[in-house]
Amino acid sequence: MVSRKDKSLDFVVLGGGIAGMRAAIDLAQGGGVLVLTKDDLYESNTEYAQGGIAAALSEDDEVTLHRHDTLQAGDGLCREEAVRVLVEEGPQQIQQLIDWGMRFDRNGTKLAFTREGAHSRSRVLHAHGDSTGSEILRALMAKARALPNIQLQPHAFVTDLIREDGKVCAVSYLEPSATSPQTIHAGAILLATGGLGHVYKETTNPSVACGDGVAMAYRAGAVVRDMEFVQFHPTALFVKGAPRFLLSEALRGEGAYLRNLLLERFMPRYHEAAELAPRDVVARAITLEMQKTRAEFVYLDLTSLDPDHVQKRFPRIFSTCMKHNIDITTDLVPIRPAAHYAMGGVATDLYGATSLPGLFAAGEVASNGVHGANRLASNSLLEGLVFGARAAAAMLIKQPAAAFPSPSLKAGVAASTHAASSAPPGRTEIEKTVELARGILWDKVAIIRDGKALTEAVTRLGGLSLPEPLPPSRPAHEACNILTVARLIARCALAREESRGAHYRSDFPLKNNSKPPRHSYVSRNSAPYFE
Ligand code: SIN
């Protein structure tokens, strides 16, 4: 049984999204599991996932087609074995979820599938129309709550991983009611802290997505991979002063068009799949059209679709847009791209083992190679399920750490990721630093990059500082994590001198085809290197 008094458990899971909860359910077979979430239990990227979860389950689909589409979208950088695991184990994981009470939308008794960009089949399952992640989380939470070995603790913000004799054996965390950080030991620790969209000024992610997991693993000495690959979702609602609410790719899957300010439908000029081209292609096309028309946005046009169907199929999107006085069935909807998903993260093997003994990672925080340079739409919830379950299996048998390529002698030493200021800034100074970092990333390290802007970003981010020691507060630690991750993204983007998937450099517009594609690696002790 779980005992909190001795502050030691069999397993600690950081994060309550799909990967963390899926893992916790299996870990409960092996002992006490504590799930720590930094905010409310349900406040994660999973809760807000709209479009759905992809799996080759329809009658006209095959896992080999799903595999092919995933590899194509990944633009040469996917780890083929990871993709095979994803598409082959995905269907059984989804069946398991259904057995636990997940209610996907159906046509009669059959599962209903929709289409999204770069999928050759309609294979995206959804729930309550556009609230897929929320329904998945409901089902997983219900299952977890029925298991006495699992304890859920919201509002526990983990600040650092603690290593003893090289092994990650504990975490330090802040609770709102405690006056000092708490420590909890565990036999194995799973990082399932989700994404990092909030590192950018414009993002579809909730404000909890600060890259905490990547930052704390990096500080602890873990190897981090492919940080330059950040996916920008093409269609975030553009209303000044409002958060960039996601307008699911499924809207385009159902037939919505993109139009520039001159009302021209422009996507057929950029790609044969038009609005359903891979996300990186659509996001770049929108950016170029915005530049050409000197506009801050383009339009998403659903007016040719049946209004009743649109309202029923996308109730959350319909009602959210209505709050901004936009009726998506009759009005053109102003949109522009926003940071959405990190393909890179803490390097893991196919069972979530990181380079540090005792530390595992799954979900968006992890980089197991499944997404390559550009994630196929709706593969991320599937990844959370499949690799969350795999990480649990590895933790149960105490799998050792994974090995990753080391830097050659040419790679330099790491740049500092935490510059201390002489006069410790107060809370508002910390907020200003965060604003600056997020603005630099958005202006210099976003959809279309070049060496000059990236060099400037690296320099300016390197010059930002935070108080030393950090005050024991969540905002201060989030600021430190944002700055750490921003610097990692900028440095890796500068180091990769080619264009591939979501990483587009106007000064290196082509893929480097002279060698097999290489991943970028970076750690506390080394500058970015490629293998
Ligand atoms: C969407 O609904 O467009 C987002 C789904 C995803 O990012 O995979």
How far is ligand 1, taken at its centre, from the CA of residue 447, in Å? Answer: 17
Buried b (16+ CB within 10 A) or exposed e, 208-242: bbbbbbbbbbbbbbbbbbbbbbbbbbbbbbbbeee
Confidence of residue 407 (pLDDT cuts 50, 70, 90): confident
Residue nearest atom 8 in ligand 1 by C-alpha distance: 378
pLDDT, tens digit, 9 for 90 and up, residues 384-393: 999 999 999 9
pLDDT, tens digit, 9 for 90 and up, residues 507-519: 999 999 877 899 9
The answer to which of 22-26, 53-57, 121-125, 425-429 has the lowest mean pLDDT is 425-429
Position 45 pLDDT exceeds 50? yes
How far is ligand 1, taken at its centre, from the CA of residue 275, in Å? Answer: 14
**Residue 46 near ligand 1, beta carbon < 6 Å:** no
Catalytic residues, by residue number, are 279
Give the β-pairing of 333-342 and 230-237: antiparallel
Position 530 pLDDT exceeds 90? yes
Residue 353, phi then psi, degrees to nearest 5: -70, 130
- The CA R_g of the chain, rounded to the nearest whole Å, is 22
Position 7 pLDDT exceeds 90? no
**Residue 250 near ligand 1, beta carbon < 6 Å:** yes
Q: How far apart are CA 372 and CA 375, in angstroms?
A: 7
Q: Which atom of ligand 1 is nearest to the CA of 340?
A: 7
Q: Which atom of ligand 1 is nearest to the CA of 235?
A: 3
**CATH number belonging to the domain at 233-340, selected among 2.40.50.100, 3.90.700.10, 3.40.50.720, 3.20.20.70:** 3.90.700.10
Q: Which atom of ligand 1 is nearest to the CA of 54?
A: 8
Judge if pTM exceeds 0.75: yes
**Residue 374 near ligand 1, beta carbon < 6 Å:** no
**Residue 378 near ligand 1, beta carbon < 6 Å:** yes
How far is ligand 1, taken at its centre, from the CA of residue 151, in Å? Answer: 30
How far is ligand 1, taken at its centre, from the CA of residue 353, in Å? Answer: 27
The whole-number pLDDT of residue 186 equals: 98
Residue position matching structure tokens 């002489």 = 422
CATH top-level class of 427-530? mainly alpha
Position 418 pLDDT exceeds 90? no
How far is ligand 1, taken at its centre, from the CA of residue 250, in Å? Answer: 8
The whole-number pLDDT of residue 428 equals: 83
Q: Which atom of ligand 1 is nearest to the CA of 231?
A: 7
The whole-number pLDDT of residue 514 equals: 74
**Residue 368 near ligand 1, beta carbon < 6 Å:** no
H-helix or E-strand spanning residue 341: strand 333-342
pLDDT, tens digit, 9 for 90 and up, residues 316-349: 999 999 999 999 999 999 999 999 999 999 999 9
* DSSP strands (E only) in 100-248: 106-107, 110-111, 113-114, 124-125, 150-153, 157-164, 167-174, 182-191, 224-225, 230-237
Confidence of residue 419 (pLDDT cuts 50, 70, 90): very low
The whole-number pLDDT of residue 415 equals: 61
Q: Which atom of ligand 1 is nearest to the CA of 380?
A: 8
How far is ligand 1, taken at its centre, from the CA of residue 279, in Å? Answer: 10
The whole-number pLDDT of residue 425 equals: 55
Task: Yes or no: say if 317 and 302 are a contact pair by the CB < 8 Å rule.
Answer: no
Buried b (16+ CB within 10 A) or exposed e, 264-278: eebbeebbebbbbbb
**Residue 51 near ligand 1, beta carbon < 6 Å:** yes
DSSP state letters, 85-119: HHHHHHHHHHHHHHHTT----EETTEEPEE--TT-
pLDDT, tens digit, 9 for 90 and up, residues 442-463: 999 999 999 999 999 999 999 9
Residue ranges per domain, the chain? 13-229+343-404, 233-340, 427-530
Position 427 pLDDT exceeds 80? no
> What rounded mean pLDDT belongs to the chain?
94
Q: Which CATH architecture has domain 13-229+343-404?
A: 3-Layer(bba) Sandwich (3.50)
The whole-number pLDDT of residue 406 equals: 87
As a whole number, mean pLDDT of residues 63-87 equals: 97
Q: Which atom of ligand 1 is nearest to the CA of 375?
A: 8
The answer to which of 175-189, 251-265, 285-299 has the lowest mean pLDDT is 175-189
The whole-number pLDDT of residue 396 equals: 98
**Residue 249 near ligand 1, beta carbon < 6 Å:** yes
Residue nearest atom 2 in ligand 1 by C-alpha distance: 51
Q: How far apart are CA 361 and CA 2, in angstroms?
A: 22
The whole-number pLDDT of residue 422 equals: 44
**Residue 248 near ligand 1, beta carbon < 6 Å:** yes
**Residue 129 near ligand 1, beta carbon < 6 Å:** no
Residues 6 or more apart whose CB falls under 8 angstroms from that of 214 comprise: 196, 224, 227, 342, 345, 346, 365, 481, 484, 485, 488
Q: How far apart are CA 492 and CA 445, in angstroms?
A: 10
The whole-number pLDDT of residue 433 equals: 96
Tell which one of 70, 124, 248, 254 to mutate to probe ligand 1, the residue whose CB is within 8 A of the most ligand atoms: 248
How far is ligand 1, taken at its centre, from the CA of residue 50, in Å? Answer: 6
The whole-number pLDDT of residue 291 equals: 97
The whole-number pLDDT of residue 5 equals: 47
Task: Yes or no: say if 351 and 393 are a contact pair by the CB < 8 Å rule.
Answer: yes
The whole-number pLDDT of residue 414 equals: 60
Would you say the CATH fold of 233-340 matches that of 13-229+343-404?
no
Confidence of residue 295 (pLDDT cuts 50, 70, 90): very high
How far is ligand 1, taken at its centre, from the CA of residue 143, in Å? Answer: 25
